[in-house]
Amino acid sequence: MIKKSILCFVILFGLHFIFVMRNPSLGSATHQWQDNIIKAQTFLYAEKIDTAMVGTSLSARIIRDSIPSVKSVSFGGCAVEDGLRIISQKEHLPKYVLVETNLFLHEGSEELVTKQTRGPIPQVRKWIPSLREQYEPICLLASLLLKSGNVNPQVGSSTVDLNVLNDRIEHHLKEDKTLSADIAAQRLSSIKSLMEDLETRGVQFIFFEMPVNDRLYHLKRYEQTRNILKAAFPQDKYLFLPSDTTKYLTTDGEHLDYMGQQVFSHYFKELLSHRNF
């Protein structure tokens, strides 16, 4: 029984391997964490990348197809620091890294980075692509279903529940707190040391801010982050892309709805093309 089971396993694995090799573009995430892992792995195992983008769930909403030359390592539920750690693991570093500033000082998720970079498994995945998250049978199935229904996985919903939106805005206003000076300095130092290491290896950083609901634009925590960034990264040395002043509709005050994602992605694409990215 054991031998027959193992034989079945080998046959299935072989078929899966062949299928993946013949259809490398297939595979869609079924939830946010999986999407993060797929992004991280796609970035780590890609040959050469010119421009990368790091950030949080805010910039993760930029439609990837609209700026194909930029590889996103903005992770939902994670932080700028996680993206930087993923980038620092790469042998061939990108020339430019776009850095989202809104939640710049958020603490990272060690789990995401260590699981993709430490131990022998990431090396095995490099040589056996069928072990990557993107090619999980459920992701392949999801991808095939979307393809057969002619559905773009990046298309989201533009339905915004205004009651929920107002609740969330009030919540943000009520819970608006700045980080203590010690913690902010500690977070900045941790991220800055990562950035400096990458700079010594030839990477250039460009900062950008994602639009949020105009009532939230001047939140204390946002202002604190802006001031810290201005002091730590002088504008004569670093490029800060101009903020988009369009009034966007968001689902919760911070995250763009699908319509907003499309408009902002277009704006962002134009902004980058003027600077030859």
Partner 1 sequence: MLFNSWVFVGLVIATAIVYYLPFLKRRQLYVLLIASFLFYAYDNLSLLLLLIASGMVNAMASYGAMYDRRSRLFATSGVVVNLCLLALFKYGGLLSATFLDMSSGVGKVLCTLPLPLGISFYTFSGISLVVDAYRGKFDAASQSIRPSFWAHSKKTLLYICFFPKLLAGPIAKSKEFFSDIADKQFRDICWPFVFKSLVVGYFLKMVVADNLKDFTFWMAYPYFELRGTGSLLLMVFGYSFQMFADFAGYSLIAIGIAAIFGYRLPTNFHFPYIASSFREFWKRWHITLSQFLMEYLYISLGGNRKGKARTYVNLLLTMMLGGLWHGAAWSYLVWGTYHGLCLVVERAICGRRENCIALGRWRSVSHWVSIAFVFVLVSFGWLLFMLPNFSEAALYMQCIFTNYGSVIFIDPKLLPIIIYATPVVVYHLLYYYRNRVWVQKYVLRFNYIFYGIMLFLILTNSGSANSFVYFQF
Q: SS3 of 96, please?
A: strand
CB 78 within 8 A of CB 93: no
In angstroms, give the least distance from the CB of 140 to partner 1: 10
CB 43 within 8 A of CB 83: no
Q: Is 37 in the site for partner 1 (CB under 8 A)?
A: yes
Q: What is the 3-state secondary structure (H, E, C) of 204-239?
A: EEEEECCCCCCCCCCCHHHHHHHHHHHHHCCCCCCE
Pick the closer one to partner 1 by CB: 4 or 92.
4
Site residues (CB under 8 A) for partner 1, limited to 40-79: none
Distance CA 129, CA 127 (A): 6
Beta strands in 93-250 (DSSP E): 96-100, 204-208, 239-240
Point out which span in 28-36, 94-102, 177-185, 264-272 binds partner 1 (CB under 8 A): 28-36
User: Interface mask (CB under 8 A) for partner 1, residues 8-27, using x and -?
Assistant: xx-xxx--x-----------
Pick the closer one to partner 1 by CB: 21 or 138.
138
Pick the closer one to partner 1 by CB: 111 or 214.
111
Q: Is 4 in the site for partner 1 (CB under 8 A)?
A: yes
Options 21, 164, 173, 183; binder of partner 1; rule CB under 8 A: 164
Distance CA 153, CA 31 (A): 11
Distance CA 269, CA 47 (A): 23
Site residues (CB under 8 A) for partner 1, limited to 84-123: 111, 115, 119
Strand partners, 52: 71, 97
Q: Is 124 in the site for partner 1 (CB under 8 A)?
A: no
Cα angle 70, 76, 82; round to 5:
70
Q: Is 136 in the site for partner 1 (CB under 8 A)?
A: yes
In angstroms, give the least distance from the CB of 98 to partner 1: 27
Residues forming the site for partner 1 (CB under 8 A): 1-2, 4-9, 11-13, 16, 30-31, 33-34, 37, 111, 115, 119, 130-131, 135-138, 141-142, 161, 164
